[in-house]
């Protein structure tokens, strides 16, 4: 099948297929006499594997390692599990970081009046110079 058909069958865009070939994640496709890429079912299955690993957030390096393990029929499943458990730990750290971002932005959004006045604690926080209201409605910089 050609690259468009391989793309449709695997769910990986033609652009990404070319990129994966370029970086050596997948082997370069065979070519027709007219120099068109040609893929067989094994190569499409490999692309599906890559798509699934990437969708689960594995890095390119981790995906490459998983591909090698998948191809090694003598591998120990413990090595695969160790990669997955390590990735879970990385994801949990990212989730905690994102939850912290949500909490911070929620607090800032709750602090913003959202009216016609220029004072905005969201922008002030992003600028690193929190602003607060002075008595009488004016705005002053915290020092």
Whole-prediction pTM: 0.77
Token duo for residue 126: 């992003």
**Least confident window among 56-60, 102-106, 108-112, 130-134:** 130-134
What pLDDT digit, counting tens, does each position of 80-109 carry? 999 999 999 999 999 999 999 999 999 999
Q: What's the chain's average pLDDT?
A: 91
How many degrees, rounded to 5, is the angle at CA 101 between CA 99 and CA 106?
A: 95
CA-CA distance, 71 to 63, in Å (whole number)? Answer: 12
Q: What distance in Å separates the CA atoms of residue 130 and residue 35, rounded to the nearest whole number?
A: 60
- Phi, psi at 30, each rounded to 5°: -65, 165
CA-based nearest residue to 131, from 102, 104, 105, 108: 108
């Amino acid at each position: 099948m050609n690259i468009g058909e391989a793309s449709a069958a695997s769910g990986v865009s033609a652009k990404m297929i070319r990129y994966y070939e370029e970086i050596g994640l997948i082997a370069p496709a065979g070519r027709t006499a007219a120099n068109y890429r040609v893929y067989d079912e094994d190569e499409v299955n490999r692309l599906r594997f890559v798509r699934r690993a990437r969708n689960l957030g594995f890095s390119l390096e981790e995906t490459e390692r998983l591909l090698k393990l998948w191809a090694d029929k003598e591998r120990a499943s413990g090595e695969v599990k160790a990669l997955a458990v390590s990735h879970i730990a990385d994801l949990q750290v990212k989730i905690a970081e994102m939850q912290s971002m949500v909490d911070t932005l929620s607090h800032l959004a709750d602090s913003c009046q959202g009216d016609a006045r220029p004072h905005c604690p969201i922008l002030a926080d992003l600028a690193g110079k929190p602003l607060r209201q002075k008595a009488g409605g004016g705005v002053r910089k915290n020092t």
